[in-house]
């Protein structure tokens, strides 16, 4: 197996792990504004999907998003694409994103004046910014913001360059720079932004534990309950065994498949919670499988 194939496979695996978390955080942020957001939006009969699409048909929604999120330029129809630290933006990738935007506008008869395209990059895509001058030219718009000089402008956001302010928290969670991630998390702790501290454990559990352990950060019971209701079992894989011991059996098993629930248990432990009839049936089944 070639090293390139192995690297591509690892990159795809890491991207599949982080993309759902990014979309979950994005939905969470828009939900706080009571503004709808769709993810995995199919734009044609072909399997081409946008990562996310915000359709803001009310002027009040546009104003809320512009004031309270990193997207201060949003219009009515807004395509959002995410490129995590293991999924670099390339010139070919840029063409595909623009193709999806044009497909969506064409099929839905949307004018360019009502559409925005945003690409969020954990790392600065130097190949696209510096080596595509013949195709696309860019202008900087502020810390972490770039815009192409096309009829349909592409708004490029580089997470590692963003200012550390609350409205940028949903993106700073996915910074590829560990230093930037630590600075964001410390700021979130200082501002008592409990939800984003909890999200940090989903993205970088080791760094999140390190930062929170070195900071006097105590959450009131009500806030803990609110976070638990939002995140639920998503945090379970990141809990240490000493924390898991404090959970009831029902809390430990919540969200696990039947196969996962039985992993690591001895036959006696599996049988102990069953009535006599069920115990005999399962024991017979296990003995049959071992023969």
Chain centroid to CA 204: 12
Give the residue from 84, 87, 67, 86 showing the smallest Cα distance to 159. Answer: 84
- Tell me the pLDDT tens digit for each residue of 173-226: 999 999 999 999 999 999 988 889 888 888 898 898 888 877 766 555 555 565
Chain centroid to CA 262: 30
- Percentages of the chain per state (helix, strand, coil), in multiples of 5: 55, 15, 30
Give the residue from 193, 204, 256 showing the smallest Cα distance to 227. Answer: 193
Integer Rg of the chain from CA: 23
- Distance (Å, rounded) from C-alpha 63 to C-alpha 269? 58
Query: C-alpha distances in angstroms, 202 versus 38, 88, 162?
Result: 22, 21, 21
User: What pLDDT sits at residue 268?
Assistant: 53
pTM: 0.68
Residue 287 has pLDDT above 50, yes or no: yes
Write out the H or E segment, with its range, that includes residue 74: none
Ranges 44-53, 74-83, 96-105, 262-271: which has the least confidence: 262-271
pLDDT interval class at 22 (50, 70, 90):
confident
Work out the average pLDDT over 158-182. 96
User: What pLDDT sits at residue 244?
Assistant: 47
Residue 285 has pLDDT above 80, yes or no: no
Strands 77-83 and 38-42, sheet pairing: unpaired
3-state secondary structure of 248: coil
Ranges 128-132, 160-164, 206-210, 279-283: which has the least confidence: 279-283
Question: Exposed/middle/buried for 110, CB within 10 Å: 0-12, 13-18, 19+?
Answer: middle
Measured at the alpha carbon of residue 26, what is the angle toward residues 187 and 152, in degrees to the nearest 5?
A: 110
């Amino acid at each position: 197996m070639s090293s390139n194939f192995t690297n591509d496979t690892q990159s795809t695996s890491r991207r599949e792990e982080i993309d759902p978390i990014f979309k979950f955080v994005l939905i969470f942020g828009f939900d706080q504004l009571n503004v709808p957001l769709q993810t995995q939006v199919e734009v044609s009969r072909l399997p081409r999907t946008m990562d996310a699409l915000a359709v803001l048909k009310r002027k009040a929604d546009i104003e809320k998003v512009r004031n309270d999120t990193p997207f201060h330029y949003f219009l009515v129809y807004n395509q959002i694409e995410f490129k995590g630290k293991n999924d670099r933006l390339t010139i070919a990738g840029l063409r595909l994103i623009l193709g999806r935007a044009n497909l969506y506008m064409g099929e839905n008869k949307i004018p360019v004046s009502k559409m925005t395209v945003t690409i969020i990059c954990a790392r600065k895509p130097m190949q696209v910014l510096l080596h595509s001058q013949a195709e696309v030219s860019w202008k900087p718009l502020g810390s972490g913001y770039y815009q192409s000089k096309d009829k349909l402008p592409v708004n490029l956001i580089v997470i590692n360059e963003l200012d550390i302010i609350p409205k940028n928290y949903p993106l700073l969670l996915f910074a590829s720079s560990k230093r930037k991630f630590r600075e964001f998390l410390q700021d979130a702790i200082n501002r008592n932004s409990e939800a984003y501290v909890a999200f940090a454990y989903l993205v970088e559990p080791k760094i999140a534990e390190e930062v929170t352990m070195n900071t006097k950060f105590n959450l009131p019971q009500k806030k803990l309950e609110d976070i638990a209701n939002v995140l639920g079992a998503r945090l379970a894989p990141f809990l240490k065994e000493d924390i898991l011991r404090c959970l009831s059996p029902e809390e430990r098993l919540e969200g696990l498949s039947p196969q996962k629930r039985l992993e690591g248990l001895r036959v006696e432990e599996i049988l102990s919670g069953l009535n006599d009839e069920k115990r005999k049936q399962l024991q017979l089944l296990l003995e049959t499988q071992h023969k």
